Structure 1
Amino acid sequence: MKRILIIATDGFEQSELMQPKALLEEAGAEVVTASLDDGEIKGWDKGDWGEAVKVDITVDEVASSDYDALLLPGGQMNPDILRMNERVIALIREFYTAEKPIAAICHAPWLLAEADIVKGKVVTGWPSIRTDLRNAGAEVVDREVAVDARLITSRNPDDIPAFTKALQDALMMERIPENA
């Protein structure tokens, strides 16, 4: 069974955490949600606060060696808060150094730039962060999913099916048929 770590905090884009998590669990993965503090984190959904999600573990308790991949949902607030946390950035670098897949969607590629791992990589993201990605040395493209070695990036919630499929492919997981 593949173990996937999601790192998020209050203000994560609701669909970008919930939908990939559900699809990965349906495909047989164990998905663990980590955040800065214990308890719950609240999503952002279509212009207002969304559902709360239980935090399974804090980032300070995470050992990257316990997981096969890292998933970073977007939303504007979530990655902006997380990129200021040294442990979060250290974990991203640990996954990268260990050559484990890192999937970041929407504004979450900001975290990849903060971790200084996008130089020379082909990535995508929400339009407002593309200049930041270019300034960090990335080759930025506008497509539903960009895969460069173990970095998987997407632009927005519409890209979630392709984004999740790319992560499953990177983990060599069997996918649930779309009509199942």
Structure 2
Amino acid sequence: MTAIKESKILILATNGFEQSELEVPRDKLRGHGATVHVASPDGKTIKGWDGNDWGQDAEVDLQLSDVDLADYDALVLPGGQINPDLLRVDRDAVKLIRDFVEAGKIVAAVCHAPWLLIEAGVVEGREMTSYHSIRTDLKNAGANVVDKPVAVSNGIITSRNPDDLNDFVAKIVEEVEEGKHPRPGA
């Protein structure tokens, strides 16, 4: 078991992340005492998407290639349409996600970010939710798709949209405090 105050959480994102889906988990998890780092493919500041236009910048702590899986208890994947679409063609990003899952660490994806879980090949047989427009993608990849604020399957957390962020963050805290989640067949 790991107390949230002793945990280290990584957020992986790139340009086009949904503004609230990075900022709310980052800020609330830090508010719980967790150390939270943001990584991007190139390690440079990234720009969010907010509503119908570009949003604010988010500071980045490290480059994807500098991430050490052993340093983190959990991985958070913000959505937005642009961010996960760019990351799912980045082999290193997909490998990192798969590595977190295979290590039994918490992986949390909101909105369109379950696309990354599909690309990493870790959705089959798991209960998951997402933004309504990608639920068919999840179903076709073998997930048991549900429509509720948060779904959890052996430490993999998914949520539908920004309206679910409070439930999403609460579940991240709960799952981190439970500890590692062995995943049969992972």
TM over 0.5: yes
Give the fraction of aligned pairs with identical amino acids, expressed as a percent.
53
CA distance in 1, matches of 2:154, 2:78: 19
TM-score by length of 1: 0.95
Q: Are 1:77 and 2:77 an aligned pair? A: no
Matches within 5 A, 1:1-180: 1-172=6-177
Query: Partner letter of residue 32 of structure 1?
Result: H
5+ long unaligned stretches in structure 1: 174-180
5+ long unaligned stretches in structure 2: 1-5, 179-186
Runs of 4+ with deviation above 4 angstroms: none
Query: Partner letter of residue 42 of structure 1?
Result: K
Pairwise CA distance, 1:54: 1.1
CA distance in 1, matches of 2:143, 2:19: 27
TM-score by length of 2: 0.92
Aligned residue for 1:176?
none
Pairwise CA distance, 1:9: 0.3
- CA deviations on 1:95-118 (whole Å, 9 max, x unpaired) are 001100100000000000000000
- Say what the alpha-carbon RMSD is for the aligned residues: 0.8
Pairwise CA distance, 1:39: 2.1
